[in-house]
Amino acid sequence: FATPATNSNFSVHPEIATRTPPYGKLTKNLTEVRRVLGTQGLTLAEKILYSHLDNVEDALGGRNGKIRGEAYLKLKVDRVAMQDASAQMALLQFMTCGLGGTAVPASIHCDHMIVGEKGADVDLPKSIESNKEVFNFLESAAKKFGIQFWAPGSGIIHQIVLENYAAPGLMMLGTDSHTPNGGGLGAIAIGVGGADAVDALVDAPWELRAPKILGVRLEGELSGWATPKDVILNLAGQLTVRGGTGYIIEYYGPGVQTLSCTGMATICNMGAEVGATTSLFPFTPKMTSYLNSTRRAPIAEAAEEANKSHNFLRADTNAAYDQVITINLSELEPHINGPFTPDLSTPLSKFKDVVKENEWPEQLSAGLIGSCTNSSYQDMLRAEDLVKQAAAAGLKPRVDFFVTPGSEQIRATLERDETLDVFEKAGGTVLANACGPCIGQWKRSDISKGDTNAILTSYNRNFRARNDGNSQTMNFLASPEIVTAMIYSGDMSFNPITDTLPTPSGQPFQFSAPSGSELPSQGFELGNLALFPSDSTPSPSTPVVVSPTSSRLALLEPFEPFGSTDLKGLKVLLKVKGKCTTDHISAAGSWLKYKGHLENISNNTLIGAMNAETGEVNKAYDANGDAFSVPDLARRWKAQGLSWLVVAENNYGEGSAREHAALQPRYLGGKIILAKSFARIHETNLKKQGVVPLTFASEADYNLIGSCDSVDTVGLYDMLVNRGDGEVFLDVTKKEDGSRHRIPVKHTFSKDQAGFVLAGSALNLLSKKAAT
């Protein structure tokens, strides 16, 4: 894939026309939206969402203002992006529809399956070799269907999207939960499962319940050590991992104008950590600078025109938010969040005490900067400034230091400007332009599995085992600046703003606040042109090979339809205690290699979930007391013709937009997930794959149901047939004594979603419609 090529910058992007949002059509729709809604002020999120409606009058008309949180929007999106791990299943699903090409422009990004260990030069070729079959499949499918293919080494999906595809007013879907990164450029960019992406790829409207809008008013201006990352680390602490559920987070206020475009992208990226549908910023001059700098000046001009003529790219002055949070950037201090959850937020000045109170490790074992969240030119230059300060004082990092550039463009620019050289001279390891340690692809030799240790990263997510597969690695999230300064102490109690470090000269050293330009004065380098995609004309004769004996890829068989009665005799496979993210339901790391093979990847189903009755992880018990791993018991029941359900607590399925977390339970015979609450993307993914997500009407009823209890549904079939209308109950027969009781449950089915479950899956329905 990565053959050397000469670099040549060009002043305007050659595909500029296909990358400009259809402002004419969108502003015309916006006029129609205003006609239907009258004088009501609109938030920016509403303007962009509603201008992408398939039918404005149908969606918004006659609702007496009751839209947010209630109406179902059928949206025509402008673009789709897919990362390599999720693209496999998305393409396998798309292929079952029998179309010759995609209805909207789309791109595939090879980033998740690349290991971080020794450095890009060694890791990249090795990862390409070990994933050759999958990369070949993706590349050939991309060619056949006219999808732009970004080869391994080209960069991380969200950074490439920001550099190339995101634009003010655009609406796009991405098969990855950090797709909202594009909100830094004023786009509505939403993370979805592959089945949702297929909706857009086949030109079916994509459905979303109209989100509520959470306004975050930014005042003041960042200074010193405070960074955009601290805005979202602080907000995550305020909102918690569930606080953004059902909301779009829209930033406004005078502070917005002071932020760099890439800084705004960092903030939007991590909106995923509070469960928000997406996050976005209004169009600012910093966005124009970034578009100009990334060779898209005509898009900036078109956006300015749409804004001037229709006030399209900012909220109306009389717009109303459902909730408002104010953050004063001038008073914000750096934060460190973690471990194990991104909302455990501690201001830097208190971190020392909190480390002691919690008896967290006193020593750091590694610092990692970069990833899709924080590898902008500005991030890296500010980190470089700190490394130079330390080097001038004769200091070297005291723990391992890894740098992950977000894209080839960033890497090549940092190489030209000698930033990477500064990191390497300090002993840092520059990893491939890929996800690597952010997604469990970090091969460590400094610790063994089970060793308790602490790492600091500038990434976005810190669930257990997320980085190195070791559940005892405590991952703390911070800005790249704080991570970089802390590695020179290696001590978790070090506060780089106030504390000093001893130096070889005997003089104590204290860091000055970091500085660094937002954008490169000489423009961005493109780097290795072989990593950039060619045109996107479909090539129907391209063979797409899936070997029947492959362990990595397998063609899909349709799931069976729901049937014509309520469900009887389901058994509770597992009652889950506490956090159950999509990482717990379908682990990443070494399992990523089976993403295109449903049978094989199903062996990781729920292996991270904790059994509420025994406290064990990946242990489930059959009615006779025999112990199994969770996937083994599911397979055993499937072989016996038994269908099952899982019982869980709050925010079930938070984290990555991983549709395997819905596909695998479905494949193994799961029919219902009964939880206290769901994360949005996962709840939709379940419905799309024909699994029924239900919530307890009263959370206390969680205590009334246990493993191996038998469950009949009451009213479920009627509710589905009535397209989402009607009450549903579960009749539970206790395994201990055969006693029976009825649990009332709630659901959020739309008309379309009820149809998915009845047909067996959304894809079954889509294929049926395509055939008629």
Q: Which residues of 725-749 are buried (b: 16+ CB within 10 A; e: fewer)?
A: ebebbbebeeeeeeeeeebebebbb
Nearby residues of 262 by Cβ (< 8 Å), 6 or more positions away? 162, 184, 290, 376, 377, 378, 379, 518
> Minimum distance between the CB of residue 403 and ligand SF4, rounded to whole angstroms?
13
R_g of the chain, CA atoms, integer Å: 25
Residue 161 or residue 280: which is nearer to ligand SF4 going by CB?
A: 161
Query: Cα(3)–Cα(275) distance, rounded to whole angstroms?
Result: 40
φ, ψ (nearest 5 deg) of residue 394: 80, 20
Reduced to 3 DSSP states, what percent helix, strand and coil does the chain have, rounded to the nearest 5?
Answer: 35, 20, 45
> Minimum distance between the CB of residue 158 and ligand SF4, rounded to whole angstroms?
6
Query: Cα(168)–Cα(218) distance, rounded to whole angstroms?
Result: 19
Residue 243 or residue 342: which is nearer to ligand SF4 going by CB?
A: 342
Q: Which of 1, 6, 36 is nearest to 528 (CA)?
A: 6
Cα separation values, 267 from 228, 247, 294, 524, 666, Å: 6, 15, 20, 22, 34
Q: Angle at which helices 157-164 and 261-269 pack, to 10 degrees?
A: 140
Residues labelled catalytic: 111-112, 176, 461, 656, 658
Query: Cα(4)–Cα(192) distance, rounded to whole angstroms?
Result: 35
Three-state SS at 573: strand
Residue 266 or residue 605: which is nearer to ligand SF4 going by CB?
A: 266
What is the contact surface with ligand SF4 in residues (CB under 6 A)?
111-112, 156-158, 176, 178, 371-372, 435, 438-439, 459-461
Residue 116 or residue 631: which is nearer to ligand SF4 going by CB?
A: 116
Peptide bond into 347 cis (omega under 30): no
In the structure encoding, which two tokens stand for residue 664, read together?
Answer: 């695998």
Cβ neighbours around 386 below 10 Å, total: 26
Residue 33 or residue 156: which is nearer to ligand SF4 going by CB?
A: 156
Nearby residues of 454 by Cβ (< 8 Å), 6 or more positions away? 339, 360, 361, 363, 364, 365, 473, 474, 476, 492
Query: Cα(443)–Cα(340) distance, rounded to whole angstroms?
Result: 20
Q: Angle at which helices 228-239 and 261-269 pack, to 10 degrees?
A: 20
> Minimum distance between the CB of residue 121 and ligand SF4, rounded to whole angstroms?
20
Residue 73 or residue 157: which is nearer to ligand SF4 going by CB?
A: 157
Burial of residue 460 (number of CB atoms within 10 Å: 0-12, 13-18, 19+): buried
> Minimum distance between the CB of residue 82 and ligand SF4, rounded to whole angstroms?
11
> Minimum distance between the CB of residue 440 and ligand SF4, rounded to whole angstroms?
9
> Minimum distance between the CB of residue 607 and ligand SF4, rounded to whole angstroms?
19
Query: Cα(218)–Cα(286) distance, rounded to whole angstroms?
Result: 16
Cα separation values, 567 from 203, 671, 692, 717, 723, Å: 33, 9, 11, 8, 17
Conformation bin of residue 153: beta by default, left when phi > 0, alpha when psi is -120 to 50: left
Q: Which of 581, 643, 650 is nearest to 609 (CA)?
A: 581
Residue 461 or residue 579: which is nearer to ligand SF4 going by CB?
A: 461
Residue 460 or residue 643: which is nearer to ligand SF4 going by CB?
A: 460
Helices and strands counted in the chain (H then E): 26, 28
Q: Are 584 and 471 in contact (CB under 8 A)?
A: no
Residue 140 or residue 457: which is nearer to ligand SF4 going by CB?
A: 457
Q: Which of 707, 706, 709, 643 is nearest to 670 (CA)?
A: 643
Three-state SS at 670: strand
Residue 111 or residue 123: which is nearer to ligand SF4 going by CB?
A: 111
> Minimum distance between the CB of residue 574 and ligand SF4, rounded to whole angstroms?
27
Name residue, tokens 């956090």. Answer: 579
Burial of residue 441 (number of CB atoms within 10 Å: 0-12, 13-18, 19+): buried
Q: Are 579 and 430 in contact (CB under 8 A)?
A: no
Residue 239 or residue 369: which is nearer to ligand SF4 going by CB?
A: 369
Cβ neighbours around 256 below 10 Å, total: 19
CA angle 544, 137, 96 (to 5 degrees): 55
> Minimum distance between the CB of residue 154 and ligand SF4, rounded to whole angstroms?
13
Residue 112 or residue 212: which is nearer to ligand SF4 going by CB?
A: 112
> Minimum distance between the CB of residue 439 and ligand SF4, rounded to whole angstroms?
4
Residue 244 or residue 669: which is nearer to ligand SF4 going by CB?
A: 244
Cβ neighbours around 640 below 10 Å, total: 10
Strands 72-75 and 206-209: antiparallel
